[in-house]
Amino acid sequence: MAASTATTPTTSNLCFSNSHSLFQHKRTSFLCAKNSIIKRKCKHKGAVTCMVLEKSSTAEPTKPKKQNAYKLQTLTSWLLKQEQDGVIDAELTIVLSSISMACKQIASLVQRAGISKLTEVHGAVNAQGEDQKKLDVVSNEVFSNCLRASGRTGIIASEEEDVPVAVEESYYGNYIVVFDPLDGSSNIDAAVSTGSIFGIYSPNDDCLLDLEDTTMLDSVEQRCIVNVCQPGNNLLAAGYCMYSSAVIFVLTLGNGVFSFTLDPMFGEFILTQENIQIPKAGKIYAFNEGNYQLWDDRLKKYIDHLKDPGPSGNPYSARYIGSLVGDFHRTLLYGGIYGYPRDKKSRNGKLRLLYECAPMSFIVEQAGGKGSDGQQRILDIQPAGIHQRVPLYIGSIEEVEKLEKYLS
């Protein structure tokens, strides 16, 4: 390689590469691969530069960089990246981190529920008149304490509380968080999938609890209720955590749906699915058909249609867990429809609009699906109360729209 020992090139040099040539100047070296660069113009005035004038058609294609098999993105690092990109602010990052911590604690409690005797009835009923299990009460405490300790929440509203709670001033923040701490807890004895559901609304400074002034408690509660009762269109973020064979944390910030799986080795949620898209149609339906005789005739016709094999000879498959989070997660991944309709016993259905139906509908719409009460979009409904119930039909957009035609 004579070129490597040649005299220092001048500004008039034109370098032609028909073999491997090494141009050296001081501490800077340039390796020109054979046949890859046809012509270079080299300058020498304190530095060496090579200008590519033409590339050979026989140049080898650039090989893509191999992904590091050991590179994992945690929920924490993902949230920090969203903050860096301006998707969320630092305050919301802290709130979401506190929620993920609550989910880790609840996951541990669920796994040990039988051992710790947490599956027993607590002896009280919640705001909806449902029997509370010990695990319901403990999960609610865990969720509430994590949100208070974050110092970034101003109001929290839970399925297990009669009214929203204004966080005391020493822990006070801005965000409004609504949640169901343990959905599906009635199945906990049988180790069936359960989950936590949450939604986060815009900051609001109008509800600060003054613990010294008990005479104002009623007006404070009223302001809290007004601030919390927002339509799902106002949601900033929503998600759920499913406690099953794996602990899965699904989240949307209004820019797609992302799924994280808890790695028990590290104790961290790891990003496992990005920009989840629900199939536009599916062949799975999830309804509690035990209530079939209590349903509206139009809904019965719809269900009968799903069970009719038709020309294809393939009816829909029925899959019903009885846990909203479990049934919804399967629907999100495989497509189809989940429904909890109104019936003669429950005129407005049984699922709560604020902290169950709205967050799930926000998630499914971000994934390209649809959430409806059979007549209108769930996210458009203005809540009239904290524990308001509505019918819910949610899943693939084509399946939900087909149902709406039957009910119209």
Tell me if 243 sits within 8 A of 257, measured CB to CB: no
Cβ-based neighbour number of residue 377 at 10 Å: 16
Angle at the Cα of 75 from the Cα atoms of 386 and 158, rounded to 5 degrees:
15
Are 75-275 and 284-407 the same fold in CATH? Answer: no
- Residues in the chain, pLDDT under 50: 1-45, 47-48, 50, 52-57, 205, 208-217
Residue 132, exposed/middle/buried by CB under 10 A (0-12, 13-18, 19+)?
A: middle
Q: What is the pLDDT of residue 129?
A: 55
Q: What is the pLDDT of residue 204?
A: 54
Q: What is the pLDDT of residue 20?
A: 43
What's phi and psi for 379, nearest 5 deg? -70, -15
**CATH class in words for 75-275:** alpha beta
Where is 332: in which H helix or E strand?
Answer: helix 324-334
284-407 has which fold?
Answer: D-Maltodextrin-Binding Protein; domain 2 (3.40.190)
Q: What is the pLDDT of residue 102?
A: 97
Q: What is the pLDDT of residue 77?
A: 97
Q: What is the pLDDT of residue 341?
A: 96
Q: What is the pLDDT of residue 113?
A: 81
Q: Which of 320, 315, 327 is nearest to 287 (CA)?
A: 320
Angstrom distance (rounded) from CA 205 to CA 33: 65
Cβ-based neighbour number of residue 337 at 10 Å: 26
Token pair of 242, please? Answer: 């499913």
Q: DSSP secondary structure string, 118-152?
A: TTSEEEEE-TTSPEEEHHHHHHHHHHHHHHHHHT-
Q: What is the pLDDT of residue 124?
A: 55
Q: Which of 348, 371, 347 is nearest to 358 (CA)?
A: 371
Angstrom distance (rounded) from CA 253 to CA 251: 7
The CA dihedral of 302, 303, 309, 314, to the nearest 10 degrees, is 110
Sketch the domain layout of the chain as residue ranges: 75-275, 284-407
